[in-house]
């Protein structure tokens, strides 16, 4: 029932003048449903069309008080006999179910205080799970909302509150009508939120979180306000079009499936972005880039919206690129690109070699339905697209790029646009052939290789030469290295002809040193040897990150074996001075390297090497910064086999180095002790009682699942397969369940996962399918299990979103 391109084009051709006036009754969550009355304005050129509404109960449809000829199958309301060519207002009344998986009106009761929260987090095919609508991006219309809720609650939505204090005290909230938006940009969040509000640039702003997180919000509020204001002001210097909405709230919401959602007027974030007890340096930088990312969507996605999902990149690539740029330039977080190059971009290279790869900007017919579109919200659309935009700006120049961007935004404000529209705007403001660049980069898959070779030129030996293997133009920074020192840097264009660098004869050379392009590196032996010897000593953190990413890529391609890679970790991780990069190396090593490239019998060695490197770094004579110390401690807590040390941390509430155990770090230690068999259910329950919060419940669930016993694994799997299990509980149990160090203990649950996951995903929808797919076993699969995975995918019985994730894993294992 996923909307097809043909259906969307057909419906858009006959519908116009769309508007929504919604009235939601959230007063009795215990019913399991909420009341929804929608007055849908529309003009249609045909007497038949359809609305979407998922699982509505007691549905009625009227026009001017009279019933409308319709049928309803639980997903689509098919309308017949409508008057044509005149404005209509259809009234649709139904009760709609709450959900616990984040795909719809998510209902959550906070274990910390028993308070309940109802929040609608929308995305592809999710608006229809909240209210009846024409659920496609090119059918935009103004939206008006009223909500009746518990009088103790605060309700936050897309527009400013227009109800007076007396109404709100009685539980009645009314909001100003929005400019034209597509249905997936609707948001409403209701509950006893704790709020921090202020005014800036003539607009009301706010940050909101669950009442139990009040102290954490107050702790971070000064930085959150400063970051928000800094990003907002910087966008005003980049874009000529002003912010188009009447307020700017931001909310940390429970149960969110995405990192965040750019709904105008009220951006929503996973509430993990507000850590309990302490926000680390790495988390602060990552959160700032996300704040800037979501704010970019106010222009790219909200003001100007794609026409169909082939242009997802016009939303996500731009927001990803601008998120890192504006967090650095506007909010004062330097070196944000370390996170992109170290954490995000390596996954994009991997994604671009899978069968599922696709152009950053595919053709419309290559995205035939919304389920297919959902699968394209991936590393290609985000990280590769971001990287291509960085290359475009480097190649085009910032002034011409911004001139074209501003022309595009002004020409299509509150409308829908395509790649062709955007390229036309850039072409009009640049002497370069942007259309040819877009064809070469955006309409194709894969990536080029920049190779360094050595030649004798004009009697001079050992001259580094850059050669491109591929077809795309590149403009990149190239550095020359003399031992651990960078001695020269230049911006170089590389195309068909080799580029000799005679001034750098005898020196190690690294192209794409700032990550300006999306390209694989092939270093010559001398440069590779210099990198292996001096990696942690190079002064520029972005250069170090590019070189670590090069090492990740070499392991992925098997150009570097796991033993050689682990030696890099042993030698250089203890001396790394950037906290984000420390986290990236630990995460990559314990993630893809361990799960996809390490034989099962060698997994304990890899884990032990990470633990040893982290321990050495913490004991280094050059004391690490607070951020690096925490990142190393997190790595050690996840890998150490020294139960006595970990138990000592729990007893003292801090490490020997004085790093305090905030709740997140404490639960990481608890999970590791459980995994080592040193903490039983009684001990885990004592920790849960001491932390009677929702995150405490999830930490306990993960720890219980991590225990190295058959009974513990059976209990975890039983919880994961309960009907209606919440998304966060499923994630927590899956994280604890898989044990790379003892694969025999979970082998039967790998088989169970392959057998049962398609049914779970098929019954729960797109968002939960992502949760299920991301819970793929992180242990080495047997040959038989790989064959079983391939056979299931070949059978066509795996739902679309899950099939995409499983096919990707199968490719990664190949």
Active site residues: 294
711 to 165, 700, 737, 778: CA distances (angstroms): 55, 16, 11, 20
Q: What's 208's DSSP letter? A: E
Specify whether the CB–CB gap between 5 and 367 falls below 8 A.
yes
DSSP 258-325: SSEE--TTEEEEEGGGS-SS---HHHHHHHHHHHHHHHHTTTBTTTBEESSGGGHHHHHHHHHHHHHH
SS3 (DSSP) at 645: helix
The first and second tokens of residue 397, run together, are 């120049």
SS3 (DSSP) at 231: helix
| Beta carbons within 8 Å of 60's beta carbon, 6+ residues apart | 67, 92, 93, 94
Q: Which of these, 441, 636, 453, lies nearest to 528 by C-alpha position?
A: 453
CB atoms within 10 A of CB 563: 12
φ/ψ bin of 459: left (φ > 0), alpha (ψ from -120 to 50), beta (otherwise): left
| Beta carbons within 8 Å of 66's beta carbon, 6+ residues apart | none
**Residue-wise burial string across 34-51, b where 16 or more C-beta atoms lie within 10 A, e elsewhere:** bbbbbbbebbbeeeebbb
DSSP 491-543: EEEESSS-EE-GGGTTSEEEESTT--S-EEEE--HHHHHHHHHHGGG-S-HHH
DSSP 668-691: HHHHHHHHTT-S-HHHHHHHHHHS
φ/ψ bin of 653: left (φ > 0), alpha (ψ from -120 to 50), beta (otherwise): left
φ/ψ bin of 409: left (φ > 0), alpha (ψ from -120 to 50), beta (otherwise): alpha
CB atoms within 10 A of CB 722: 10
Q: Measured between alpha carbons, how far is 324 from 334 in angstroms, rounded to an integer? A: 9
- Could you report how far apart the first and last alpha carbons of the chain are, in Å? 33
Q: For residue 373, report the phi and psi dihedrals to the nearest 5 degrees.
A: -65, -40
Q: Measured between alpha carbons, how far is 98 from 104 in angstroms, rounded to an integer? A: 7
Strands (E), 538-682: none
Cα dihedral 358, 360, 361, 364 sign: positive
Q: Measured between alpha carbons, how far is 635 from 590 in angstroms, rounded to an integer? A: 9
Q: Measured between alpha carbons, how far is 795 from 798 in angstroms, rounded to an integer? A: 8
Strands of the 104-109 sheet, one edge to the other: 104-109, 116-121, 188-191, 154-157
Specify whether the CB–CB gap between 326 and 374 falls below 8 A.
no
As a dihedral over the C-alpha atoms of residue 359, residue 364, residue 367, residue 370, rounded to 10 degrees, the angle is 130
Question: Rg of the Cα trace of the chain?
Answer: 27
How large is the angle between the packed helices 694-706 and 727-737, nearest 10 degrees? 30
Bridge partners (DSSP) listed for residue 468: 450
Q: Measured between alpha carbons, how far is 736 from 742 in angstroms, rounded to an integer? A: 12
Q: Which of these, 89, 14, 67, lies nearest to 44 by C-alpha position?
A: 14
């Amino acid at each position: 029932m996923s909307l097809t391109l043909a259906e969307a084009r057909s419906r858009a051709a006959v519908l116009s003048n769309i508007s929504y006036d919604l009235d939601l009754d959230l007063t009795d969550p215990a019913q399991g449903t909420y009341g929804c009355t929608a007055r849908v304005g529309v003009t249609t050129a045909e007497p038949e069309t359809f609305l979407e509404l998922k699982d509505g109960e007691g549905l009625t449809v009227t026009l001017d008080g009279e019933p409308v000829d319709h049928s309803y199958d639980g997903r689509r309301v098919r309308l017949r006999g409508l008057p044509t060519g005149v404005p209509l207002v259809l009234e649709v009344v139904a009760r709609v179910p709450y959900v616990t998986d984040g795909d719809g009106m998510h209902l959550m009761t906070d274990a910390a205080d028993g308070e309940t929260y109802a929040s609608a987090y929308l995305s592809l095919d999710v608006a229809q799970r909240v209210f009846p609508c024409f659920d496609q991006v090119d059918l935009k219309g103004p939206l008006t909302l009223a909500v009746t809720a518990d009088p103790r609650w605060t309700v936050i939505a897309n527009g400013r509150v227009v109800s007076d204090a007396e109404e709100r005290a009685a539980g009645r909230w009314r909001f100003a009508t929005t400019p034209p938006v597509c249905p997936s940009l609707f948001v409403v969040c209701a509950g006893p939120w704790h709020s921090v509000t202020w005014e800036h640039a003539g607009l009301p702003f706010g940050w909101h979180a669950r009442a139990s997180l009040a102290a954490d919000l107050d702790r971070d509020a000064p930085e959150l306000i400063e970051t928000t204001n800094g990003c907002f002001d910087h966008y005003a210097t980049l874009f000529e079009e002003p912010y188009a909405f009447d307020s700017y709230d931001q909310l940390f919401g429970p149960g969110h499936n995405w990192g965040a959602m750019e709904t105008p007027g009220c951006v929503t974030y996973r509430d993990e972005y507000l850590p309990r007890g302490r926000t680390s340096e790495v988390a602060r930088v990552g959160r700032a880039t996300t704040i800037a990312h979501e704010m970019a969507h106010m222009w790219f996605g909200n003001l100007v919206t794609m026409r169909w999902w082939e242009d997802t990149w016009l939303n996500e690539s731009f927001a990803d690129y601008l998120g890192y740029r504006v967090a650095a330039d506007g909010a004062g977080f330097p070196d944000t690109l370390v996170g992109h190059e170290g954490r995000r971009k390596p996954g994009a290279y991997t994604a671009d070699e899978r069968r599922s790869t696709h152009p950053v900007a595919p053709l419309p017919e290559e995205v035939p339905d919304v389920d297919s579109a959902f699968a394209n919200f991936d590393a290609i659309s985000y990280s590769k697209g971001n990287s291509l935009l960085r290359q475009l700006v480097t190649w085009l120049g910032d002034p011409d790029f911004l001139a074209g961007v501003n022309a595009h935004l002004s020409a299509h404000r509150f409308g829908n646009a395509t790649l062709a529209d955007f390229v036309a705007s850039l072409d009009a403001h640049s002497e370069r052939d942007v259309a040819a660049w877009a064809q070469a980069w955006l309409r194709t898959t894969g990536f080029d290789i920049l190779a360094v070779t050595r030649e004798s030129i004009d009697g001079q030996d050992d001259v580094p030469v850059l050669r491109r293997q591929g077809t795309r133009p590149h403009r990149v920074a190239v550095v020359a290295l003399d031992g651990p020192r960078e001695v020269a840097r230049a911006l170089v264009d590389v195309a068909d002809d080799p580029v000799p660098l005679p001034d750098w004869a005898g020196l190690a050379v690294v192209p794409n040193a700032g990550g300006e392009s999306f390209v694989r590196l092939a270093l010559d032996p001398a440069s590779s040897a210099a990198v292996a010897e001096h990696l942690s000593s190079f002064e520029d953190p972005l250069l170090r990150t590019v070189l670590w990413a090069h090492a990740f890529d070499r392991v992925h391609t098997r150009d570097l074996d796991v033993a050689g890679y682990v030696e890099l970790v042993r030698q250089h991780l203890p001396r790394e001075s950037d906290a984000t990069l420390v986290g990236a190396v630990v995460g990559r090593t314990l993630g893809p390297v361990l799960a996809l490239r390490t034989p099962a019998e060698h997994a304990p060695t890899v884990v032990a090497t990470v633990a040893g490197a982290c321990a050495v770094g913490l004991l280094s004579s050059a004391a690490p910064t607070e951020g690096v110390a925490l990142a190393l401690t997190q790595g050690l807590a996840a890998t150490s086999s020294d139960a006595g040390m970990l138990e000592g941390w729990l007893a003292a509430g801090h490490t020997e180095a004085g790093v305090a155990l905030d709740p997140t770090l404490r639960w990481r230690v608890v999970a590791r002790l459980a995994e080592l068999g040193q903490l039983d259910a009684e001990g885990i329950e004592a920790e849960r009682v001491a932390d009677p919060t929702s995150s405490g419940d999830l930490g306990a669930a993960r720890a219980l699942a991590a225990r190295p016993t058959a009974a513990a694994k059976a209990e975890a799997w039983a919880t994961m397969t309960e009907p209606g299990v919440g998304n966060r509980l499923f994630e927590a149990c899956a994280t604890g369940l898989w044990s790379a160090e003892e694969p025999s203990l979970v082998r039967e649950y790998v088989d169970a996962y392959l057998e049962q996951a398609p049914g779970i995903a098929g019954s729960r929808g797109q968002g939960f399918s992502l949760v299920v797919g991301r819970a793929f076993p992180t242990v080495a699969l047997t040959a038989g299990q790989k064959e079983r995975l391939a056979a299931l995918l070949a059978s066509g019985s795996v739902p679309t979103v899950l099939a995409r994730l499983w096919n990707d894993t199968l490719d990664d294992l190949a």
